[in-house]
Amino acid sequence: MPPERYAKIAGWGKYVPERVLTNADLEKMVDTSDEWITQRTGIKERHLRTEKDTNSSMAVAASIPAIEMAGLTAKDLDLIIVATSSPDYLLPPVSSQIQHMLGAECGAFQLGAGCSGWVYALTTADQFIKAGGYNNILVVGVEIISFALDYTDRTTCVLFGDAAAAVVLTATDQPSGVLAFELGSDGSGAEALIVPAAGSTKPIDFEGIENRENFIRMDGQTVFKFATRAVAGSLKRVVSQAGLLPDDIALFIPHQANARIIEAGAKLLRQPLDKFYVNVHKYGNTSAASVPLAMVEAIEEGRLKPGDKVAMVAFGAGLTWAAVVVQMGEGEISPAHTLFSAGRAAYLAKKAQNRVLDGVQAALLPLYTWRHKSRKRRK
């Protein structure tokens, strides 16, 4: 019987454009203030593309160090998956441009799932490797969201930035990589985060431009409520699916959309906020690049090391969400996987306690919501 296959994260890289747009800069462009943006989002600045930056060039800049760190060349790659909602062109897919620019000789495809795209792509690559189809896969998250921002709309233009990040997954027979994942979609919320005039249903025309329908439109309240539920709920499920407890996770990496969403997720998981990686203040929401960019920076800062288990979650247009638990490096996965052990007994006891606390939390949530609304009405 052949040994079990795993997909190890063997290399990583990032690229952030040089141009920085601060809250102070935005104060001169739109009716907003640093205080307003910071209190509602936690964002202080974001990076935007320069004239030299394209979606494909940014992806390549992030991919080259990832490939080199994995000890590979571009010709060793078996597949390239690019998560993005802002390709260079409608056709051809930007994945083929990136493949050519890298000098790779393999298949490549573009994956669109909004801000959740990179986590979708990571789990897809993991399955290709575990199934024995490929050995080395490049997974890129890259966005130039700034091209779709209406800088007269303070509810959206303050939120987003541009960036790219990439990882290389390689096959190994040592336990590592993705331990559990969840992919979700709720198309009933499609209009909560949408660019109305940019596709085949409504191609860009003079009327669309006049009505500013070629820019991102967002129902902030709907997205906020959806995201808060998605962060805590999906993380709880994938951590449990991996045979772990939240306490076993070395670091949580949520989609960097809004600091308040991250804080709410930490409370619902009953985990300290310092276990949640946050860089939203530096970059804003970089969509499909958000989670991999945060992961790369967490590694660079020493927040993640071989053997650590990291839980990542993203949410975005669709509406979509995706969560994954990954073990960095190689080694034993979890004491909970051992059928008879003191570690498993402790795991089951703690899991039962968490279920009770989850029930209490769910029962009290309507009361908390009612009190919060009552206070807002009194103000």
Annotated active-site positions, please? 115, 255, 285
Residue 176, exposed/middle/buried by CB under 10 A (0-12, 13-18, 19+)?
A: buried
Residues in the chain: 379
185 phi and psi, to 5 degrees? -150, 140
d(CA 116, CA 83): 9
Q: Which positions ≥6 away from 75 have C-beta within 8 Å?
A: 103, 104, 105
Q: What's the N-to-C CA distance of the chain in angstroms?
A: 68
Distance of CA 208 to the CA centre of its chain: 30
Please report which residue ranges of the chain form alpha helices under DSSP H: 23-27, 34-41, 55-69, 94-102, 117-130, 154-157, 206-210, 220-241, 259-269, 280-283, 290-300, 342-378
> If you search the block for the tokens 């590979």, which residue do you land on?
72
d(CA 193, CA 350): 38
Q: Which positions ≥6 away from 271 have C-beta within 8 Å?
A: 246, 247, 249, 252
d(CA 212, CA 217): 9
For 228-263, b where at least 16 C-beta lie within 10 A, e where not — what string? bebbbbbbbebbbebbbbbebbbbbbbbbbbbebbe
Rg (CA), the chain: 21
Q: Residue 159 has what DSSP assignment?
A: T
> If you search the block for the tokens 């009933």, which residue do you land on?
188
